[in-house]
């Protein structure tokens, strides 16, 4: 499930507590994006940190390891819930069996977008949120951030281009 990394230890290694304080919020956002339920997201993140504690000496890159654990735990919950749903309502089996993979892929993409946006610099993250979550016009964003309209358009274009490239590198080719 969450495979331990190599035993090689980085020079400036953080403590488990420091990793927890740095990664808990991004992991919760990621898990919530995958699961859509806060209580399940909290449970999955807690389980991932417990697993990290068990393998602390073996894990080389805790952040990547934790995100992989959260993804795997979340997918296990989604698969289990899909099976329970299929057992309760046996309608069109072929269509119902195809949907879990599509839904898992969509949820993974949403979670990955949320994680990548959360890693952006504050100003860039604000710009993306204003445009795509608050549905503000370039002029409104420019006024709030004290930028030119042209600069807002340019920055958003390059932020989205970079976001798309990073999604492709992570194996997500479409929503």
| Nearest-angstrom CA–CA distance, 63 and 59 | 10
| Nearest-angstrom CA–CA distance, 44 and 22 | 17
pLDDT computed for residue 173 by the predictor: 64
pLDDT computed for residue 78 by the predictor: 86
Q: How far apart, in Å, are the Cα atoms of 154 and each of 151, 158, 172? A: 5, 6, 24
| pTM: predicted TM-score of the whole model, two decimal places | 0.46
Please state, as a whole number, how many other Cβ atoms lie within 10 Å of the Cβ of residue 1. 8
CA 24 to chain centre: 12
pLDDT computed for residue 86 by the predictor: 46
The token pair that represents 43 in the structure block:
């449970």
pLDDT computed for residue 92 by the predictor: 44
Question: What radius of gyration, in Å, describes the C-alpha atoms of the chain?
Answer: 19
* Sequence-ordered list of residues with C-beta below 8 angstroms from that of 51, at least 6 positions apart, any chain: 1, 2, 69
**Burial label, 168 (beta-carbon count in 10 A; 0-12, 13-18, 19+):** exposed
Digit-by-digit pLDDT tens for the chain (175 residues) are 565 554 444 445 788 889 888 889 889 888 888 888 888 889 999 999 999 999 888 988 899 899 999 999 998 888 887 765 444 444 444 444 455 666 667 777 777 777 888 888 989 988 988 887 788 888 999 999 999 988 988 998 888 888 888 877 777 765 5
pLDDT computed for residue 83 by the predictor: 61
pLDDT computed for residue 51 by the predictor: 92
């Amino acid at each position: 499930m969450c495979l331990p990394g190599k035993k090689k230890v980085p020079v400036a290694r953080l403590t488990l507590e420091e990793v927890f304080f740095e990664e808990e919020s991004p992991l919760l956002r990621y898990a919530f994006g995958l699961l859509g339920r806060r209580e399940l997201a909290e449970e999955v993140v807690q389980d991932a940190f417990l697993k990290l504690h068990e393998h602390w000496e073996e894990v080389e890159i805790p952040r990547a390891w934790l995100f992989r654990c959260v993804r795997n735990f979340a997918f296990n919950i989604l698969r289990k819930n899909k099976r329970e749903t299929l057992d309760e309502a046996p309608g069109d089996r072929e269509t119902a069996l195809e949907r879990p993979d599509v839904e898992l892929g969509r949820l993974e993409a949403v979670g990955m977008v949320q994680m990548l946006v959360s890693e952006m610099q504050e100003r860039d993250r604000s710009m993306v949120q204003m445009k795509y979550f608050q549905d503000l016009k370039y002029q409104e964003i420019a006024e709030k951030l004290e930028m030119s309209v042209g600069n807002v358009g340019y920055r958003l274009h390059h932020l989205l281009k970079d976001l798309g490239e990073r999604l492709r590198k992570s194996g997500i080719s479409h929503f």
